[in-house]
């Protein structure tokens, strides 16, 4: 499996505090069957103003430590970009930290926000060749209810990828708008499922409970599409199709 949403680099956001914590998360993910991750630390100035070069240095350090410990986990570039003018402008100018070959990028908004010109700004980045991936769409007020689902469908039909968290699927309905995660999945809107793990403690909720819930809802075809094929396509900057129930 390939997990394109992890907070695995130490000391730079709300992920692991130390290298030991970071390596414990890497080990837990690897033991859960994850072979590749994107290190998507937050880029959220001024709280977490992470820049590409320090992120690259930390990824290289992590790769060295994983090799020394014999942990087989590939680390891809990435970041969880905060939706705000400054961060979007920097992505438009070739900054930020997209995935893999530099086209797809992960972006989050505040759960209760309804940013002005949200859809238009994403479309404008698409016209520049970028591919937005919306992080944990199940959390957002703008996608609540029937009107919200229609809005999300509109974005997905324009080639924007909707990501949900494995942990939310496992928690079922009622938590963090967890019902939305299942509904979006069964409506065929979801193109990517990730762990969004911040520590090794998050791994069982994602890769035991959450993965079982995904298997129950969509079978092996959903796991293959959402945790292997589509992540690989996003790393290569290719189009992805949301998983559709049979
Ligand atoms: Fe995250």
Tell me the CA–centroid distance for residue 187 and ligand 1, in Å.
23
Q: Please give the pLDDT value at position 196.
A: 97
Q: Residue 172: name the closest of 213, 212, 207 by CA.
A: 213
Domains of the chain: 2-234 (3.20.20.140)
Tell me the CA–centroid distance for residue 66 and ligand 1, in Å.
22
Question: What string of H, E and C letters represents the secondary structure of 135-194?
Answer: CCHHHCHHHCHHHHHHHHHHHHHCCCEEEEEHHHHHHCCCCCCHHHHHHHHHCCCEEEEE
User: Which pair of tokens denotes residue 192?
Assistant: 């990517």
* 187: Cα within 13 Å, side-chain hemisphere: 21
Alpha-carbon gap, residue 189 to 241, rounded angstroms: 9
Q: Please give the pLDDT value at position 100.
A: 87
Per residue in 132-151, pLDDT (tens digit) is: 999 999 999 999 989 999 99
Tell me the CA–centroid distance for residue 79 and ligand 1, in Å.
9
Alpha-carbon gap, residue 4 to 83, rounded angstroms: 18
Residue with tokens 């016209």: 127
- Which alpha helices (H) appear in the chain, and where do they start and end? 19-31, 52-69, 85-92, 118-127, 145-157, 166-171, 178-186, 203-204, 211-224, 230-235
Tell me the CA–centroid distance for residue 4 and ligand 1, in Å.
10
Judge whether residue 174 has pLDDT over 50: no
- Any idea which of 16-25, 167-176, 214-223 has the lowest mean pLDDT? 167-176
Tell me the CA–centroid distance for residue 186 and ligand 1, in Å.
23
Q: What mean pLDDT is reported for the chain?
A: 95
- What average pLDDT does this structure show over 206-230? 96
How would you classify the pairing of strands 74-76 and 36-39?
parallel
Per residue in 26-64, pLDDT (tens digit) is: 999 999 999 999 999 999 999 999 999 999 999 999 999
Tell me the CA–centroid distance for residue 109 and ligand 1, in Å.
11
- What average pLDDT does this structure show over 213-238? 96
- Any idea which of 29-43, 70-84, 161-175 has the lowest mean pLDDT? 161-175
Alpha-carbon gap, residue 161 to 170, rounded angstroms: 21
Measured between alpha carbons, how far is residue 232 from residues 22, 171, 239 in Å?
A: 23, 27, 10
Prediction pTM value: 0.96
Tell me the CA–centroid distance for residue 128 and ligand 1, in Å.
25
Q: Residue 190: name the closest of 199, 84, 213, 76 by CA.
A: 213
Tell me the CA–centroid distance for residue 57 and ligand 1, in Å.
20
Q: Judge contact between 88 and 125, C-beta under 8 A.
A: yes
- Sequence-distant (6+) residues with CB within 8 A of 22 are 8, 9, 10, 15, 16, 62
């Amino acid at each position: 499996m390939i997990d394109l949403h992890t907070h695995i680099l130490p000391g730079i956001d709300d992920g692991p505090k130390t290298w030991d914590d970071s390596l414990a998360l890497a080990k837990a993910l690897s033991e859960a069957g994850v072979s590749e991750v994107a290190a998507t630390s937050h880029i959220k100035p001024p709280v977490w103003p992470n820049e590409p070069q320090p992120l690259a240095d930390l990824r290289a350090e992590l790769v060295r430590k994983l090799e020394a410990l014999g942990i087989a986990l590939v680390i891809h570039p990435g970041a969880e970009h905060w939706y705000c003018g400054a961060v979007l402008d920097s992505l438009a100018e070739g900054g930020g930290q997209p995935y893999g070959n530099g086209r797809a990028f992960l972006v989050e908004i505040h759960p209760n926000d309804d940013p002005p010109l949200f859809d238009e700004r994403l479309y404008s980045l698409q016209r520049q060749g970028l591919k937005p991936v919306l992080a944990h769409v199940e959390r957002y007020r703008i996608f609540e209810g029937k009107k919200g689902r229609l809005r999300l469908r509109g974005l997905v039909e324009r080639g924007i990828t909707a990501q949900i968290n494995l942990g939310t699927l496992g928690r079922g309905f009622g938590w963090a708008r967890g019902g939305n995660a299942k509904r979006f999945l069964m409506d065929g809107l979801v193109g990517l499922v990730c762990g969004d793990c911040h520590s090794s403690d998050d791994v069982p909720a994602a890769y035991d409970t959450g993965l079982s819930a995904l298997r129950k809802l969509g079978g092996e075809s959903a796991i293959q599409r959402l945790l292997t094929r589509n992540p690989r396509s996003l790393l290569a900057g290719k189009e992805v199709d949301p998983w559709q129930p049979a």
